[in-house]
Structure 1
Amino acid sequence: MKQITVLFLLIVQSAIAQNSLFNQVEAKNIGPTIMSGRVVDLAVNPKNPTEFYVAYATGGLWYTNNNGTSFSPVMDSAETVNCGSVTVDWNSGTIWVGTGEVNASRSSYAGVGVLKSSDKGKTWENLGLKDSHHISRIWVNPSNLNEIVVAAVGHLYTTNKERGIYKSNDGGKSWKQTLFVAEDAGIIDLAVSKNNPQIMFAASWQKDRKAWHFDGDGEKSGIYKSEDGGTSWKLVTTKESGFPANEGVGRIGLAMFNENVIYAVLDNQNMRPKAASKNKLTVMLSSPGADIMEISSKELNNALKASGFRDKYRAENIKNWIADNHMEPKEVLNFLSDSNKALFETEVIGCEVYKSEDGGKSWKKTNQNYIDDMFYTYGYYFANISVDENNQDRVYIGGVPLLFSEDGGKTFTVISKENVHADHHVTWVNPENPNHIINGNDGGVNISYDNGAHWIKCNNEAVSQFYAVNVDYQENYNVYGGMQDNGVWFGPNNYSHNVAWHQEGKYPYQELMGGDGMQTQIDSRNPNVVFTGYQFGNYYRINRKEGKFDYITPKAPKGEKPYRFNWQTPILLSSHNQDILYMGSEFLHRSMNQGETWDRISGDLTNGAKEGNVAFGTISTISESKFQFGLLYAGSDDGKIHVSKDGGASWQLISNNLPQNLWVSRVVASSHKKERVYAALNGYRNDIFESYAFVSEDFGTTWTSISNGLTEAVNVIVEDSANENILYVGTDNGLFISLDKGESWQDFSNGMPKVAVHDAVIQAKAKELIVGTHGRSLYKMDISKVQELTKAVLAKNLHLFKVNDRTKSDRWGTQNYAWGKPSEPLQTIWFYSNDDGIVNISITNEAGMIVHAQKVDAKKGLNSFEFDYSMTKDIVANWNKKDKKIKLKAADNQKFYLPVGKYDIMISKEKILEKKSFEIVNPKK
């Protein structure tokens, strides 16, 4: 049934795209590129390792044949760009992609099964297994491409049966499930012997992820072996095998040297013996407060990670509690230990490496000591291992750092360097040159030719994973955005990708801060003053001009528990007064002095704390009406929406009539009508992918669904700044637009692949929409003509939009250099047509003579054509003949350009005619 639903949604999506009025409104990518995004897999041509494919978690598949100097996207025509794995047959060029990332992070998006391309990515075919959601490995028999084995992890947040090992002997037309472990345990890795492909090993992984907690281990995790090419399987990590076999077994990664020798890297969540465990956080918090403030944030963060708080608190949270003697370190220790008693008693074992030399019958741990500071408590994100094909003692494992062993895993050294991002997910070792390795991590692709002594960074493409985006209001405005694991950056809105910065020495985008970048607010009076931060409410007021960073996160009154902050903590500068700042924990906080001091202006606006290792029961979105100061809305991650009409003195719950217990991804007070408010709910964390978008015309007392026609989980709703009928919606699979307040929707993603859109904002002065995607960086769209699509315009058969005047230049048609291109004037002329058909274009001068004529094959909706102000020789000869006062001469490029004067442009279709005037004027002296 679920597969039928997925198929139906894809059909609806296709119909929406085909019927869109906006197929000529193109999204332009404006970067950034340098920080890249999360790589999940590589496929390298062993005969020519300068040719390879890179699979990004949410950015699609990219191809290079020049050793990473440049890449081309090859998956943009597919129904998703969410990747889990990639396999290539280099002889035929056939590509298989297992869709849906398997790293189980908070933004590991589901896929649509197995995709295949027989033409190097031009077209894609879906081979099924759509309800598997996340596919970790695909093996294709190089001697018989019809024999395929797939490892499926299954759903991320819920249990399901379509997980395990699947085999096809007919190229994917049909599948047989040959290994099923349990509805909560899928297959996270698959290794196949190159010498004898009948021998395979598969790693099962039991996990339970919820929005508030992640349990990434269980007794159903283990290693299975097949001796018949994946047709049948047997568990080899029994209690007698030497490999852990209990409830603490987490994610497992596999690497085969040959059919007898196999390595496994394990996220071992069992506890260390107390004698071998010394909780670093306990030691730190036993020091005086002043001493703790002197501990580096990196060191304190490492201790927090080791104690299981990576998904709840950061060093700055702890220091904020202790600052000014607000909490004694002992109080902090008691609070944290109550939250995670097990890890305060002892530490988890963490990363371990095991080796079998008898085909999996027995296993021995290779590492002599604990591999500290590798997995911490989130090994679920890693567990990848590689082995040199020619030397079984050379082993690589990826975690927070990248480690290398040349003694079979007994000891390890760090080989990731200063230009290599942390969080490593895949490492390829050249079988012909073991010092040549390619590594994929949270910050893109790195290549080394000396086994990690030096690295090349190959981040040339826009694949960043944005959480949030904003703009300032300077003349040439900047865009700002926070990214997954890559901080907060800002840069020019007119950025166009090129590598000139290598020569100039300065990248156009600049970093504001590190961490997982979150929301940004910019003071409209002074764009140097920026409010931003990273995960769990760690926010700063930054004065870029003065280089000042002031930590502004509110802290709970003395004696109360610390506040709960969402991973993406919402902040908002009041449009009524830019000194007033709002911020959400479980309460709504207001500062009247840009974060210097705070007042709590609400009670708990959530369902309360929910025990787990992820912060939950928090405010996720806030909005203030532009019509009234203090008309406030707040939505929570556990499904509640509240309104206050009196600046927080009182609050009313307004979400009882909406679907319950879903993440409130957005609440938006209308800028066109005081009583109107929009809301979006998101079921992603429940494996519910339906669209939930609503509008209320009475402050949320009653709601009307506006999601009819949408097919994906909604992340953001943006109301147009000029036209109240227009709405923009960003979903987990693209951008959509409504011209009728949400009654119907159309695709609005021309120029973008089907990527998750996390945020969007309008720069009202420039009439441009900035779109923040979680996988393909930022896009900019000119919405000036879209905003003019009023009911009156849409009722017309044909409409010509205003044509801009142009200043004449003597440089038209000239070249700066002999090898340069001529300077040519161009204007994009827009019109609307209510149906398909040929539209005639003509331009006349003041004497009524036609100086330009052409035909345009128009489609229903917005249409455009480029006009370069040039005329044919025949028209010029006729003009010179009729008007003796003018002598038109050819420019350097032998083109004739319109002279200074007034012109009319007319478009016609059948008996319908539209006319506009424009002028070419002399330059101002």
Structure 2
Amino acid sequence: MKRLLLYTLSLLLSFSTLLAQNKLTNDREGVEISNGLNWRFIGPIVGNRGSVVLGHPTEPYTFYFGASNGLWKTEDAGTYWEPVGDAYFKSGNIGAMEFSESNPNIAYVGMGEPQMRNNVSWGDGVYKTEDNGKTWIHLGLKETHHISQVRVHPTNPDIVFVGAFGHAFGPNKERGVYRTKDGGKSWEKVFYKSDKAGVIDLVMNPSNPDELFAVMWEFERKAWGPKTGGPDSGLWKSTDGGDTWKEITYNEGLPEGGRGRAGITMRAADARKVYALIDSETKPGLYVSEDLGENWEFVSDFFQIIGRPFYYSHIYASPHDANELWSPNNRMFMTKDGGKNWILNPGIKDDFHDIWICPRDPKRMIGTNDGGCQVSMTGGITWSSQYTQKNSQFYRVNVDNDFPYNVYGSGQDILAYKVPSASRWGGISGYETTIIGNGEISSVIPNPNDPNIVYNISGGAPMGSGAPFTINNLATGQNEVRSVWPSPLFGLNGYDLKYRFNWDLAYFLSPHDNKTLYLGGNVVFKSTDEGLNWEVISPDLTHNLLERQKITGTPWLSEYFGQEIYSTIKRLDESPVKKGVIWTGSDDGKIYITRDGGTNWEDISITDSTLPEYSQVYEIEPSPHDAAAAYVVFSNFNTYDDYNPYMFKTTDYGKTWVNLSANFPQDQITRTIREDKVRKGLLFAGTESGVYYSLNDGQSWEKLKANLPAVPVVDIKIKDADLVIATNGRGFWIMDDITPLREKSSELDSKAVHLYPVSDHTRFGYNWWLDYVPGGDPGMKKNYFVQNMRPGLTYYELTFKQVNGERKRKFIDAGDPKPLGPAFYFKLEKEPKDIAIAILDKDGNEIRNYTKEQMMLNFGSESDFNTGLNKFVWDMRINGVSRVPDRPETTVIPIVPPGKYAVKLTVDGVSETQEFNIYMSPKESYTQLQADDKFAFWMEMYNQAEARTQKVIEALAKKKEVIEMAELSGNNKAKKQAEVIAKLIDSYEGAYVSTGRTLAEVINLPATILFKLSFLSGILDHSEGPVTTQMHSEFQEVLKDADNADATFKQSIDTELSKFEKIIK
């Protein structure tokens, strides 16, 4: 009943739409024009690791959040988050940010997060905004890679200090403290210690901006673990605005011995008090100075604030109370007595990395952790949710064979998820995402024989040694861990472990036998009973580099949580063409193959002179066309601080390899590669900033950017004609229908016009009626749509017009909707003089057409089409019923039944046609005969609506004619008779269509004939189901009303027109 009421509301609201039409026609601000191939974010709607948070100085509900996926902004205290800077940032990784206090429209962002995990990404310097985040300019310092802090002078926004850590994976000189005095036009390095140590924290005295404190940290991350601490780590101070610096590392009261990471803080509440949280060989803990760092006193070594110092070591002093400190650590702890006693602050997630408290309002604050960020307007008593954020970090991606298909993956330090690729409700909201169980690493694989069974690797650090393979039953909620070897790794060198497993370990379900699992450690394991038993089927398939298997960290504190296990199999896969052909690749450069299911193994490692020894295999892609062919990509950023691409191919089972690296963009590392299942040699590669494709087997590459932000793409799957990707920071994305790439060729490029083959379309949704309900004025105003007993969706209404045949909405707290109909791709060499699209049924009858004028509106453009690739989506409806001028639309617009159709594109007199099929959803229980019968009924309703509408239009034309004749005659008697006729016609019009001027008037008038037909049509919108007896009966009742209205009107109008004719003569 609610659905029918809402559809009724949609009919009534069409009147409101009409009233607003003139105002909206020329309002183009905020209209998103999206032609050709585009990416679609699908979810999940959940946050992930952040690096920096900040509140706007003067806008109380505005906050910013930086992470490995870009910069995010909320204007409603964390209710909704939206990305800013995507169109400007060349890297998506944020490390630091600060606003100018004297001009809050100015802010500086430093790229590259300073949380030096194994999967940390780097940035490209500093960006600046002068309009509160709307636009950004790049200011250089590209090779700093990781910027820990940005400090802006309180009264001069052109004076800025940047704390640059430098490269995480090797030595470089672009480190230290940088200063600009001209707003970033030029930079000078005012403090530098060595090419091994960088700035990990930097503070400015809020009462004296010439006083600065810098924390230097000697650190280097490798694939086998971090080396943290060293002689160049320490504390430094400047009292002259950065011109000179004095070391205070071992000032009175500070600990002796080796130093690791440290954090430092001070606030205006006591401008002489400085706190430092120090990782020390002799006495780690919190220290305080009452005289600006000259002398220090030990305060606390509370274990919750000094745990895992390489990852945390954050300390934050409240701007309101110098004794109130916050320690973002594994949990968020707070003290109000200068650090003597600590209390746990409630939070949503763990692993905190930053916090900010408003200097003007102590209740206004924001923090970030491994699950996103949280805003508090209550001083930390309550926090906003992290489940409206879109910045999850994934390792791998998989899909199932359901319809619509689902996408699977494990998020960094969160959970394992199943996300639908499409929703019958339009936007893919959070409630449609299934939490599979504990996750964090590696792949999530659905069982193709049982949709309720899903496999994943259920944990990270605590069970890193045992490869905690887990079988999850979605029907019962049971999660059963079936580890390959259930033994913890803590305190053991890699060579002391029974088996070694990569943090992002590889495993797969055989494409030839869905009961056989393979999993890689340093050897290959096989199970035929879902992990109850695991059999070793190979020798050690790595270099087994013992020196790289030692516990890492500082000499006094290890950092060994599973990410550091080395000499392991990182990638493992089987040829989809031939059973038993299995390829392995290790993180130390070994590649092996077996052609008999694991009985014999052959070392086929690459010995190309351009490939450094022990290069890390990041992907192996067995060709879907040839069992002897495979592609391998390597990445050496965390082995040699090397950011070059490495890409190879074999066509003879690894006997020889062809180096494809030189053809790839040289400023991109290669993370993954896939070959299309349909077009041989069509390749897709994931890099640190997006996706590239090659049409010629890797001889040349182009970026497949479209609307994808700069973000690491870690895995790619091809599902039918869709490209599905996992990102490390922006969740899952889909490019629907890559047919144009599959068809692209030099021959087609030379054509002036080309209509590409059309992919068959399977219907997936009938409840997307919100697509036809006006949700609010177009523009940047949030609209909330309630979906009856379900969580609602929040979106921007981008336009009342269609774009490429679709209504466009930008969803804020949901995944993007899949186009509701088949997509037509066509290429144009230049703007056409004339263009049209026609849809034909199986008999060649034209059932829908779009003229050039209509298509221009549909493309969101008043003037032209895109040269190159264009896309148009047909909503599977026929041409609509004609509209009575200045009256609400009659929404009897039948959806065609499943069947064979064709699209005809005509450009400047030249036509091309492509056939395609529309299929019924496999989840529907109805037959083709029922769908055809329903369409026949719907068409009868449509024909009646059109015929009756034409009668009303003819009557209105007669009314206009009579009034004009009476006016021209000057005969008062004729004018009075014309008024009588006009009233008769108005009454006749009112029987068919509402004549109310406002929504309230429309609601209070009796339902009209065309409204009743629209109401019946709305019921038919939602399924393929048969027409009920009651609908047939109601339709006949409506026709009786129409016949009576016509008969009464004809009898009266004929009489009155006869009188008028006699008078006018």
Q: Please report the TM-score for the alignment, with normalisation by the length of structure 2.
A: 0.70
Aligned with residue 58 of structure 2, among 47, 55, 70: 47
Instruction: Confirm whether residue 383 of structure 1 aligns to residue 313 of structure 2.
Output: yes
Alpha carbons 2:904, 2:911 under 8 Å: kept: yes
- In structure 2, what is the Cα distance between the partners aligned to 1:655 and 1:463? 37
- In structure 2, what is the Cα distance between the partners aligned to 1:918 and 1:29? 27
Q: Which amino acid aligns with 2:579?
A: F
1:682 matched residue in structure 2: 635
**How far off is 1:903 after superposition?**
8.3
1:514 matched residue in structure 2: 438
1:75 matched residue in structure 2: 85
**How far off is 1:386 after superposition?**
1.4
Please identify which structure carries the higher helix content. 2
Deviations 1:573-609 (A, max 9, x none): 0011111100011111111222121221111111104
**How far off is 1:414 after superposition?**
1.0
Deviations 1:395-436 (A, max 9, x none): 11111011111111111111134xx21111111123344344
Instruction: Confirm whether residue 60 of structure 1 aligns to residue 59 of structure 2.
Output: no
Deviations 1:61-82 (A, max 9, x none): 1112211111221120111111
Are residues 498 and 151 of structure 1, via their aligned partners in 2, closer, same or farther at CA, if it must alter by over 3 Å? farther
Instruction: Confirm whether residue 460 of structure 1 aligns to residue 472 of structure 2.
Output: no
- In structure 1, what is the Cα distance between the partners aligned to 2:195 and 2:801? 64
Alpha carbons 2:366, 2:373 under 8 Å: kept: yes
2:158 matched residue in structure 1: 146
**How far off is 1:649 after superposition?**
1.9
- In structure 1, what is the Cα distance between the partners aligned to 2:756 and 2:77? 47
- In structure 2, what is the Cα distance between the partners aligned to 1:805 and 1:45? 47
Alpha carbons 1:587, 1:600 under 8 Å: kept: yes
Alpha carbons 2:452, 2:473 under 8 Å: kept: yes
- In structure 1, what is the Cα distance between the partners aligned to 2:110 and 2:286? 26
1:649 matched residue in structure 2: 599
2:689 matched residue in structure 1: 733
1:527 matched residue in structure 2: 451
Q: Which amino acid aligns with 1:437?
A: M
Alpha carbons 2:691, 2:705 under 8 Å: kept: yes
Aligned with residue 835 of structure 1, among 829, 832, 847: 829
Are residues 538 and 814 of structure 1, via their aligned partners in 2, closer, same or farther at CA, if it must alter by over 3 Å? closer
**How far off is 1:676 after superposition?**
1.0
Q: Secondary structure at the match of 2:698?
A: coil
**How far off is 1:451 after superposition?**
4.2
Q: Secondary structure at the match of 2:431?
A: coil
1:547 matched residue in structure 2: 477
Identity of aligned residues (%): 29
Q: Which amino acid aligns with 2:692?
A: F
**How far off is 1:899 after superposition?**
9.9
Q: Which amino acid aligns with 2:659?
A: S
1:317 matched residue in structure 2: none
Alpha carbons 2:619, 2:673 under 8 Å: kept: yes
Aligned with residue 776 of structure 1, among 730, 740, 744: 730
1:750 matched residue in structure 2: 706
Task: Give ranges in structure 1 of 5+ residues lacking alignment.
Answer: 1-21, 272-348, 878-887
**How far off is 1:366 after superposition?**
1.1
Q: Secondary structure at the match of 1:230?
A: coil
Alpha carbons 1:872, 1:896 under 8 Å: kept: no
2:568 matched residue in structure 1: 618
2:6 matched residue in structure 1: none
1:16 matched residue in structure 2: none
- In structure 1, what is the Cα distance between the partners aligned to 2:707 and 2:425? 15
Q: Secondary structure at the match of 1:507?
A: helix
Alpha carbons 1:23, 1:750 under 8 Å: kept: no
Q: Which amino acid aligns with 1:653?
A: D
Alpha carbons 1:489, 1:509 under 8 Å: kept: yes
Are residues 147 and 556 of structure 1, via their aligned partners in 2, closer, same or farther at CA, if it must alter by over 3 Å? closer
Are residues 790 and 113 of structure 1, via their aligned partners in 2, closer, same or farther at CA, if it must alter by over 3 Å? closer
**How far off is 1:496 after superposition?**
9.8
Instruction: Confirm whether residue 595 of structure 1 aligns to residue 531 of structure 2.
Output: yes
Pair member with larger Rg: 2
Instruction: Confirm whether residue 365 of structure 1 aligns to residue 298 of structure 2.
Output: yes
Are residues 556 and 699 of structure 1, via their aligned partners in 2, closer, same or farther at CA, if it must alter by over 3 Å? farther
Instruction: Confirm whether residue 578 of structure 1 aligns to residue 576 of structure 2.
Output: no
Instruction: Confirm whether residue 487 of structure 1 aligns to residue 415 of structure 2.
Output: yes
Q: Secondary structure at the match of 2:388?
A: coil
Deviations 1:489-547 (A, max 9, x none): 2122225999997xxxx832232233523212221111222210133322212222243
Q: How many residues align?
A: 799
Q: Which amino acid aligns with 1:913?
A: S
- In structure 2, what is the Cα distance between the partners aligned to 1:810 and 1:393? 57
Alpha carbons 1:137, 1:150 under 8 Å: kept: yes
- In structure 1, what is the Cα distance between the partners aligned to 2:433 and 2:183? 46
* RMSD, aligned CA: 3.6
**How far off is 1:665 after superposition?**
0.6
- In structure 2, what is the Cα distance between the partners aligned to 1:88 and 1:732? 28
1:279 matched residue in structure 2: none
Are residues 551 and 71 of structure 1, via their aligned partners in 2, closer, same or farther at CA, if it must alter by over 3 Å? closer
Alpha carbons 1:490, 1:509 under 8 Å: kept: yes
**How far off is 1:771 after superposition?**
1.1
1:11 matched residue in structure 2: none
- Matched ranges for 1:312-327 at <5 A: none
Aligned with residue 324 of structure 2, among 390, 394, 398: 394
Instruction: Confirm whether residue 759 of structure 1 aligns to residue 715 of structure 2.
Output: yes
Alpha carbons 1:103, 1:381 under 8 Å: kept: yes
- In structure 1, what is the Cα distance between the partners aligned to 2:907 and 2:196? 61
Are residues 73 and 625 of structure 1, via their aligned partners in 2, closer, same or farther at CA, if it must alter by over 3 Å? same
**How far off is 1:719 after superposition?**
1.6
**How far off is 1:760 after superposition?**
1.8
Are residues 577 and 890 of structure 1, via their aligned partners in 2, closer, same or farther at CA, if it must alter by over 3 Å? farther
Q: Secondary structure at the match of 2:743?
A: coil
The worse-fitting range, judged by mean Cα deviation, of 534-543 and 382-391 is 534-543
Q: Secondary structure at the match of 1:131?
A: helix
Are residues 834 and 745 of structure 1, via their aligned partners in 2, closer, same or farther at CA, if it must alter by over 3 Å? farther
The worse-fitting range, judged by mean Cα deviation, of 508-517 and 581-590 is 508-517
Q: Secondary structure at the match of 2:739?
A: helix
- In structure 2, what is the Cα distance between the partners aligned to 1:398 and 1:908? 63
- In structure 2, what is the Cα distance between the partners aligned to 1:696 and 1:251? 49
Aligned with residue 913 of structure 1, among 911, 914, 930: 911
Q: Which amino acid aligns with 2:835?
A: I
Are residues 360 and 905 of structure 1, via their aligned partners in 2, closer, same or farther at CA, if it must alter by over 3 Å? same
Instruction: Confirm whether residue 24 of structure 1 aligns to residue 36 of structure 2.
Output: yes
- In structure 2, what is the Cα distance between the partners aligned to 1:121 and 1:433? 23
- Matched ranges for 1:290-301 at <5 A: none
Are residues 838 and 540 of structure 1, via their aligned partners in 2, closer, same or farther at CA, if it must alter by over 3 Å? same
